[in-house]
Structure 1
């Protein structure tokens, strides 16, 4: 028998789903959309820290990340500065970054990650 744990579920989604030592997270966006890309990136990473801690994991256990950005030309370098400072060298995950259109014009970034959960 196996266990699937759903975190912060509502009728549309679960914030994360944990199974067999792996957590899949739904997209995380900033709560204050008036911030620039650096501010929104910091907000998203702070929220991810909270979510990881809540399941007994941490940023060093992130396996992969998808970063969706509103404007890669304008924001890619600044987002990467914040991203790189957040990680300990040598602990960065596999990653893909894409430019997308968001329904809300002021959202600049959405982050989706998969992380290992401590046994």
Structure 2
């Protein structure tokens, strides 16, 4: 059981000391992604929860692709929102478009007091090869 530590070209630079994903025995744990639209962590986030959710999902797809996976491999997601009541429904409307109906990952959605660089949303995944 030797874990593989993945750093994915084209994914946003880490905002802290972490790997983009860690793989062990077919399980792939994808670090929570922020709504960067460029690889630099100094780039601006897009405005609004819808645009930020799209940006987060794009970054997650980049990490998954770098591991040879796609959204169909995702079995669990965690969503973190800093403006839970205001953003929950609108985030869900965007999030739901990324998965086939009836094949949504298990999920937890949590309201938090803050996220790195003042993002409104962060999402992480567990995928299975």
Normalised TM-score (structure 1): 0.88
* Displacement over 4 Å in runs of 4+: none
Look up the match of 1:5.
Answer: 4
Gaps of 5+ in 1: none
Normalised TM-score (structure 2): 0.82
Look up the match of 2:87.
Answer: 75
- Write the distance in 1 (CA, Å) between the matches of 2:61 and 2:4: 19
Contact kept, 8 Å, 1:30 with 1:107, in 2: the verdict is yes
Q: How many residues align?
A: 116
Shift of 1:91: 1.7
Higher share of residues assigned strand: 1
- Write the distance in 2 (CA, Å) between the matches of 1:13 and 1:64: 20
Gaps of 5+ in 2: 9-13, 37-43
1:87-98 alignment to 2 at 5 Å? Answer: 87-98=99-110
